[in-house]
Chains A and B, each alone.
Chain A
Amino acid sequence: DIQMTQSPSSLSASVGDRVTITCRASQSITRSLNWYQQKPGKAPKVMIYSASTLLSGVPSRFSGSGFGTDFTLTITSLQPEDFATYYCQQSYSTPHLFGQGTKVEIK
Chain B
Amino acid sequence: EVHLVQSEAEVKKPGESLKISCKCSGYTFIHYWVGWVRQMPGKGLEWVGIIYPDDSKTIYSPSLQGQVTISADKSISTVYLQWSSLKASDAAMYYCARLDGGQQLVGDCFDSWGQGTLVTVSS
Contacts and interface: CB of A to CB of B under 8 A. Distances in A.
Contact of B107 (A87, A91, A94): A91
How many A residues are at the interface, by size bracket? Answer: 20 to 34
B61 A46 contact: no
B116 interface: yes
Interface string B41-73: 000111101100000000111100000000000
How many B residues are at the interface, by size bracket? Answer: 20 to 34
B7 interface: no
B109 A94 contact: no
B110 interface: yes
A95 B63 CA distance: 10
Given A1-B62, A44-B45, A98-B45, 7 more contacts: A32-B107, A34-B109, A46-B110, A49-B108, A50-B107, A98-B46, A100-B44
